[in-house]
Amino acid sequence: MPTYIEAEVELLEFIHQRGSVSFQEIFELQSRQKLLFGLNIGLADILWRHRSRGEIDYDIKEGVVNSRIQQQPTL
């Protein structure tokens, strides 16, 4: 089972490789890879932190997360 940091890196790579993903795809990835997001509070923290850095953007109503960079994410 991956650590929290490994799960964060895998999630960000997934988003940046695809350019745009739905929350449903993220939940499926989480389930399939058994990523540790801790009751999805960790997931919200990851998304908020990387959104504040300008690396991703998301729309809750649309249920979509979009990559805003073409390089490796920072932690």
Q: What percentage of residues in the chain have a pLDDT greater than 70?
A: 81
Q: How many domains does the structure of the chain reveal?
A: 1
Residue 74 confidence class, pLDDT cut points 50, 70, 90 = low
Q: Is residue 15 part of a domain?
A: yes
Q: Is residue 74 part of a domain?
A: no
Structure token pair of residue 54: 């300008």
Return phi, psi of residue 57, to 5°: -140, 155
b/e per residue, 9-46, with b = 16+ CB within 10 A? Answer: eebbebbbeeeebebebbeebbeeeebbbeeeebbeeb
pTM of the model: 0.79
Q: Please compute the mean of the pLDDT values over residues 25-29 and round it to a whole number.
A: 89
Q: Is residue 75 part of a domain?
A: no
